[in-house]
């Protein structure tokens, strides 16, 4: 042992039993969410927190601030050393009913059900409680403790709960207390701090998870700091006024037990003005020279993704008529809404992974349609209106009953196809697009459902008129650096937005920068629309880290089994109840 280490050791050993002489209070909880304003609204709507005027990223919940930081969400609080936070209500049954009524779609409320399917459970001798999740992955306990309504607790998950509580007692001056005379805990002001046994190994670090850190307020960090240090607290960063601070108060970070990041702030601390980091996705000012393949064709090869375009609506929203582009914050919020709206029914952990998985800066493009210039689909013809009404009636007919068989589910759920140009469109996941070229051919492989198109770039005779297929018979050509693809012989069973088999589909792929591939398509279907329309978005090269996985969709289509066996179970139940 070196001399210095020996000193450090002695210092630690000497500090064991000294509790802090000051009593910290819980100051804030840092939650990661792509859209702070939306998060503030969410906690206001569902947990009675109030917006803080000078801090647009902060909600005040009975004196505890929830500060929302703009970061990709890397997963739920569950699994880290901060398992959940809790709110108490006098009547938790009606509160839970209210939360359940919100629904889980979009930025809704996700309920965690107990094994018996109930949302609430009696914890004997303690209280009635249940759990929900906010849309960004924070686990929230909703409980009935009439003595202490409102923001109630922070619940840690510890490898050694007693030792963990002892750390918070010594370093931060938490007051030991027994909740309902049974459960060991600490109190910081009104707020309870619990520590439960972590189920398995060491908790994951809180940093960049839904609850990124908890912060405690001490009156004078200059004086409290040395005392914390003496108690054995390990400083990750020294007390200082952070960059972009909204107040001159100091802040420091401690490495808490169980991989929990703990901030200590001085009274008056008002957070930092977070600045959204918009990636410099600006296209180069000078014209870009598209590389060539060794045989002289424009080279578009590589692995691209549509991730940045996910969330761009096809049509321009009514309230964005005169907007040229979204702000990066608006774009991030839009994409997150899109993701949440699409995967609300998925397993929570899987959903958390999806939310955090997308590192590509979201596009600020307002809408995909560029022609007509108003960004909306052209007017339908009379025939188009009739067909749209018919399609809607058919959808309603199917929705009104359990599916008879696979044919009552759509082509995407049956893992058949997303059609053209549907398969090119970005979605919430598996947005990979691999392009491989050989002389005279461009292979375009889309990850989702694993569909691959072999586009000839030299003229060839189209197949006969009777030989129709889902993705048709493509013919490509180079117009300068642009690959133009026209597709004939579509079977019309997966027409995009109601397009028929007779639609003329023209697609244009242009590499507009080292890492940008512009995709544009025009649908000319006079049967349906009074004029052709054109939409565009871009793919980004992600050759270094992205690899298309084998999206064996039909092979693993448990959803089909579940949908149909569920339908038959419902039929049986209906028959039994005599309906």
Partner 1 sequence: MDCRSRGVGTCLAVVAAAAALSAGLPLAAQDDAAPRAYDGHPDLNGVWQAIGTAHWNLEDHPSGPGHPDLGAIGAVPPGQGVVVGGDIPYLETALQQRRKNFENRMTEDPEAKCFLPGVPRATYLPYPLQIIQGDRKIMILYGFAEANRTIHMDKETPEPPPLDSWMGRSHGRWEGDTLVVEAEGFNGQAWLDRAGNFSSSSLRVEERYTPLGSHAIMYEATLTDPEVFSRPWTIRLPLYRRLEEDARVLEFKCVEYAEDLMYGHLRREPTR
Smallest separation (angstroms) from partner 1 to the CB of 438: 4
Residue 390 interacts with partner 1 (CB under 8 A): yes or no: no
Among 202, 275, 554, 572, binds partner 1 (CB under 8 A): 554
Residue 452 interacts with partner 1 (CB under 8 A): yes or no: yes
Residue 402 interacts with partner 1 (CB under 8 A): yes or no: yes
Site string for partner 1, 237-276 (x = CB under 8 A): ----------------------------------------
Residue 447 interacts with partner 1 (CB under 8 A): yes or no: no
Smallest separation (angstroms) from partner 1 to the CB of 421: 16
* Residue 84 vs 446, nearer CB to partner 1: 446
**Count of residues interacting with partner 1 (CB under 8 A):** 48
Whether 485 and 455 have beta carbons less than 8 Å apart is answered as yes
> Which residues contact residue 251 at a Cβ distance below 8 angstroms, ignoring those fewer than 6 apart?
215, 221, 239, 240, 241, 242, 245, 263, 264, 265, 266, 269
* Residue 54 vs 461, nearer CB to partner 1: 461
* Residue 343 vs 560, nearer CB to partner 1: 560
- Pick from 446, 447, 449, 448: which is nearest to 415 by CA? 449
Residue 441 interacts with partner 1 (CB under 8 A): yes or no: yes
Residue 353 interacts with partner 1 (CB under 8 A): yes or no: no
Among 406, 513, 526, 532, binds partner 1 (CB under 8 A): 406
Rounded CA-CA distance 437/419 in Å is: 22
Tell me the backbone φ, ψ of residue 514, rounded to 5 degrees: -55, -30
Alpha helix locations (H) across 33-91?
Answer: 36-47
> Would you give the end-to-end CA distance of the chain in angstroms?
80
Residue 574 interacts with partner 1 (CB under 8 A): yes or no: no
The C-alpha torsion from 61 through 62 and 65 to 70, rounded to 10°, is 0
- Tell which positions 282-321 bind partner 1, by CB under 8 A: 293-295, 301
Stretch that binds partner 1, among 305-313, 336-344, 374-382, 434-442 (CB under 8 A): 434-442
Smallest separation (angstroms) from partner 1 to the CB of 518: 22
3-state secondary structure of 269: coil
Rounded CA-CA distance 420/507 in Å is: 10
> Which residues contact residue 357 at a Cβ distance below 8 angstroms, ignoring those fewer than 6 apart?
429
Residue 440 interacts with partner 1 (CB under 8 A): yes or no: yes
Smallest separation (angstroms) from partner 1 to the CB of 524: 23
3-state secondary structure of 536: strand
84-121 residues labelled b (16+ CB within 10 A) or e (exposed): bbbbbbeebeebbeebeebebeebbbbbeeeeeeebbe
Whether 48 and 150 have beta carbons less than 8 Å apart is answered as yes
* Residue 103 vs 439, nearer CB to partner 1: 439
3-state secondary structure of 553: coil
* Residue 255 vs 450, nearer CB to partner 1: 450
**Residue 469: count of CB within 10 angstroms of its CB:** 12
Among 549, 559, 572, 574, binds partner 1 (CB under 8 A): 549
Smallest separation (angstroms) from partner 1 to the CB of 414: 6
Given the rule CB under 8 A, which residues bind partner 1?
293-295, 301, 402, 404-407, 414-417, 434, 436-441, 443, 445, 449-452, 454, 460-461, 463, 467, 469-471, 547-550, 552, 554-555, 560-561, 564-565, 567-568, 571
């Amino acid at each position: 042992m070196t001399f210095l280490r020996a000193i450090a050791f002695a210092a630690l050993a000497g500090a064991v039993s000294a509790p802090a002489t000051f009593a910290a209070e819980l100051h804030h909880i840092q939650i990661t969410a792509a859209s702070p304003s939306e998060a503030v609204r969410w906690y206001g709507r569902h947990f009675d927190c109030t917006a803080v005027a000078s801090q647009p990223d902060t909600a005040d919940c009975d004196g505890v601030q929830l500060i929302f930081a703009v970061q990709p969400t890397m997963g739920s609080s569950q699994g880290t050393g901060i398992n959940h936070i809790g709110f108490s209500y006098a009547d938790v049954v009606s509160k839970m009913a209210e939360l359940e009524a919100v629904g889980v779609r979009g930025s809704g409320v996700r309920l965690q059900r107990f094994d018996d399917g109930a949302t609430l459970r009696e914890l004997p001798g303690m209280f009635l409680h249940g759990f929900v999740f906010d849309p960004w992955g924070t686990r929230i306990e909703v409980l009935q403790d009439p003595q202490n309504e409102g923001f109630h607790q922070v619940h840690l998950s510890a490898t050694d709960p007693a030792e963990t509580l002892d750390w918070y007692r010594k370093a931060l001056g938490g007051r030991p207390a027994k909740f309902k005379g049974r459960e060991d805990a600490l109190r910081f002001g009104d707020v309870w701090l619990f520590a439960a046994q972590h189920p398995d190994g060491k908790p994951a670090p809180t940093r960049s998870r839904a609850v990124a850190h908890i912060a405690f307020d001490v009156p004078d960090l200059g004086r409290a700091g040395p005392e914390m240090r003496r108690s054995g607290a390990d400083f990750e960063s020294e007390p200082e006024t952070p960059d972009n601070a909204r107040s001159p108060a100091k802040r420091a970070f401690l490495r808490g037990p169980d991989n929990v990041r703990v901030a200590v702030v001085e009274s008056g601390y008002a957070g930092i003005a977070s600045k959204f980091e918009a990636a410099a996705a600006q296209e180069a000012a000078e014209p870009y020279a598209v590389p060539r393949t060794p045989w002289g064709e424009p080279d578009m090869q590589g692995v691209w993704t549509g991730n940045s375009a996910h969330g761009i609506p096809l049509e321009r929203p009514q309230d964005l008529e005169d907007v040229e582009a979204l702000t990066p914050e608006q774009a991030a919020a839009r994409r997150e809404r899109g993701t949440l709206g699409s995967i609300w029914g998925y397993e929570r952990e899987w959903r958390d992974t999806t939310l955090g998985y997308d590192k590509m800066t979201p596009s600020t493009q307002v809408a995909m349609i560029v022609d007509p210039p108003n960004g909306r689909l052209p007017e339908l013809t009379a025939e188009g209106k009739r067909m749209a009404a018919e399609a809607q009636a058919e959808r309603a007919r199917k929705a009104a009953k359990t599916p008879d068989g696979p044919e009552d589910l759509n082509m995407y759920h049956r893992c058949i196809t997303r059609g053209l140009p549907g398969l090119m469109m970005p979605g919430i996941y598996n947005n990979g697009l691999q392009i491989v070229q050989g002389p005279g051919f461009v292979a375009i492989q889309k990850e989702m459902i694993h569909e691959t198109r072999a586009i000839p770039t030299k003229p060839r005779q189209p197949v006969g008129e009777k030989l129709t297929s889902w993705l048709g018979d493509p013919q490509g050509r180079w117009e300068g650096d642009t690959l133009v693809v026209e597709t004939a012989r579509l079977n019309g069973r997966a027409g995009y937005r109601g397009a028929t088999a007779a639609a003329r589909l023209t697609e244009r792929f242009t590499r507009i920068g080292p890492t940008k591939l512009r995709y544009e398509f025009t649908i000319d279907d006079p049967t349906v629309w009074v004029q052709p329309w054109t939409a565009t978005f871009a793919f980004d090269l992600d050759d270094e880290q992205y690899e298309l996985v084998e999206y064996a969709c039909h092979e693993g289509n448990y959803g089909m089994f579940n949908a149909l066996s569920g339908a038959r179970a419902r039929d049986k139940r209906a028959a039994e109840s005599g309906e």
